[in-house]
Structure 1
Amino acid sequence: MNTTADIIIASEVRQTRYFLEELLRSIGHNSLKTAVDVADCVRMIERARPKLVIADFETMADMVALLHQVRRKQPHPSNRLPIIAVMGVSTRAAVDAMRDQGATDIIAKPVTIARVKGSLANVLADSRAFITSEGFVGPDRRRFADASYQGPWRRATDKKGGRDGDIFNVDVK
């Protein structure tokens, strides 16, 4: 039995798993596995060693639990696994919460082929540093350059004209 997969799709809703599976197959991603909940997804990550996870859970608590389990409980390099969070609620607070928990990217519903392709392109081209500190584990939350930034430069990688805090290409509500 083949236990590997390039992408794990995690959702407790069967129709969502099927939709995402068919969408990904339609754009050429065929090495897929599906998980029905957080625990199932974590087990699959340990066994299948995927290249990324796309997770769409009904509650934010489940998404936070998945991110926490992967980012803080998994050994390196599994904790660096790219995780795309699919969100029905894309308020600034919700997006910030996913960013602060270590989501690599976010797809705001409604899910479209264009949004999935864009998110996959972002994740695959992502060259951000991976941060491991007491308060945060995940990809660097800063993605874009902001020449007008006036705050303190605290990281060794910071240069004048550094990066700002917006990392997701999501229309917040």
Structure 2
Amino acid sequence: MREILKSIVWGRGGQRLQVAKDCREVHGILQIARYDLLLPDYNLGHESGVELARSPSHLNARTPIVMISGRGDEVTIRAAHDAGIGEFVVKPLSVVTLANRISAVLFRPSEFIVSLSYCGPDRRRGGSAQHDGLERRRGERSL
């Protein structure tokens, strides 16, 4: 799978590419350099890609993640989303789907949120992040 991903990224104009075999290697890489994107599999040896997204090394780097997995169940996707993973692609994947997900996290990035209970990209999809309290819906029409 790594070779396929490398060829897709190279084919789409990627210039520098670092491949890691597990989460330990990723943690080490993120301490040395900054990257534009992470493309981890859900299964990364001793840790999952979700645990990687929640790790201090990733949060410090604030690198967008497109997770790739053979697991497409709602629980897995929700856990990835709640961990701050920007996009999720289920195997088997197509070049077009992967390219669209990469474009989404790189060219339409979410704001980074730091709070007591969460640190990571804004998990809300679409719409405005502006809320005006309890009266925010006043004046809106129902459909």
TM range (shorter): 0.7 to 0.9
2:68 pairs with 1:86: yes
Structure 1 residues 27 and 41: CA distance shift in structure 2, 3 A: same
User: What residue in structure 2 maps to residue 40 of structure 1?
Assistant: 25
Equivalent residue runs for 1:109-148 within 5 Å: 109-145=91-127
Greater gyration radius: 2
Deviation readout 1:136-167 (Å, 9 max, x if unpaired): 22111112239xxxxxxxx7x22547xxxxxx
Q: Which TM-score applies when normalising by structure 2?
A: 0.81
2:47 pairs with 1:74: no
Q: In 2, distance between residues paired with 1:62 and 1:99?
A: 13
Residue identity matched to 1:131: I
Secondary structure in structure 2 of the residue aligned to 1:35: coil
Structure 2 gaps of 5+ residues are 138-143
Q: In 1, distance between residues paired with 2:115 and 2:88?
A: 22
Residue identity matched to 2:54: H
2:10 pairs with 1:25: yes
Residue identity matched to 1:145: G
Of residues 81, 84, 89, the one that matches 1:99 is 81
Secondary structure in structure 1 of the residue aligned to 2:43: coil
Q: In 2, distance between residues paired with 1:53 and 1:120?
A: 10
- What is the CA distance between 1:62 and its match in structure 2? 1.6
Q: In 1, distance between residues paired with 2:101 and 2:113?
A: 20
Q: In 2, distance between residues paired with 1:76 and 1:86?
A: 19
Structure 1 gaps of 5+ residues are 1-15, 147-154, 162-173
Deviation readout 1:49-80 (Å, 9 max, x if unpaired): 111111014369521221121xxx138751x2
Tell me the C-alpha RMSD between the 2 structures.
Answer: 2.4
Q: Which TM-score applies when normalising by structure 1?
A: 0.68
In the comparison of the two structures, how many residue pairs are matched?
A: 133
Q: In 2, distance between residues paired with 1:118 and 1:97?
A: 21
- What is the CA distance between 1:48 and its match in structure 2? 2.5
User: What residue in structure 1 maps to residue 140 of structure 2?
Assistant: none
Residue identity matched to 2:40: A
User: What residue in structure 2 maps to residue 166 of structure 1?
Assistant: none
- What is the CA distance between 1:36 and its match in structure 2? 0.6
